[in-house]
Structure 1
Amino acid sequence: MNEQEMIDLINNALAEEFELEPDDMTAEANLYEDLGLDSLDAVDMVVVLEQAFGFKIREDQAVREIRTLGDIYRFVAGKLQDQAEN
């Protein structure tokens, strides 16, 4: 999976789950201020990402620091890289 395919999968999964407008979904978009998500949505977001990519996400510091879509892209890319190496 290349980077654009990963981004598209993330955007499509989150847009469907949270009824987001694709035009609003940029790497700089703040999940809470720009996209209107809240802390409960963050829990659902973890589940959506786990289902989309088939890996488990522990509640760790990295997840709590996610604020933008770009943060999600980097987080998922790191998880996929770890998965490929193991």
Structure 2
Amino acid sequence: MGSPSSREDIYQHLQRMLVEEFEIDASAISPEALLYEDLGIDSIDAVDMIVQLQNITGERIPPERFRSVRTVQDVVDTVHALAA
């Protein structure tokens, strides 16, 4: 996949990944959805998600950048900042 530059592109990519890789119901995914509480992402899933998101940024994502991430929008904003 190319490098999505807009937040909307990143959101669409993340949504597809959550549905396809983590088998999360698309209707449960929204910018406000809490990763752990609403979507059932656990710590192992979070690591897998970060690894896959590195394809967007083209570089390693330091795990500490995701320590304060709680919602889908937080992920989008963090990846967008790293990809900029």
Q: TM-score range by the shorter chain?
A: 0.7 to 0.9
Of the two structures, which has the highest relative contact order with CA contacts closer than 8 Å and spacing of 6 or more? 2
1:29 corresponds to 2:22: no
CA deviations over 1:25-80 (Å, ceiling 9, x no partner):
101100111001111111111111113443210122x3111111010011011011
Number of equivalenced pairs: 80
Q: Percent identity?
A: 36
For 1:29 and 1:59, the matched residues in 2 are separated by 20
Give structure 2 stretches of 5+ with no counterpart: none
Higher helix share goes to which structure?
1
Give structure 1 stretches of 5+ with no counterpart: 82-86
Displaced runs of 4 or more, over 6 A:
none
For 1:59 and 1:39, the matched residues in 2 are separated by 11
Q: TM-score, normalised by structure 1?
A: 0.81
Alignment of 1:1-86 (within 5 A): 1-60=5-64, 62-81=65-84
2:14 counterpart SS class: helix
2:63 counterpart SS class: coil
Letter in 2 for 1:59: P
Judging changes above 3 Å, is the alpha-carbon distance between structure 1 residues 54 and 64 closer, same or farther for their aligned structure 2 residues?
Answer: same
Cα RMSD between the aligned structures? 1.4
* Kept in 2: contact 1:14–1:48 (CA 8 A): no
Q: TM-score, normalised by structure 2?
A: 0.83
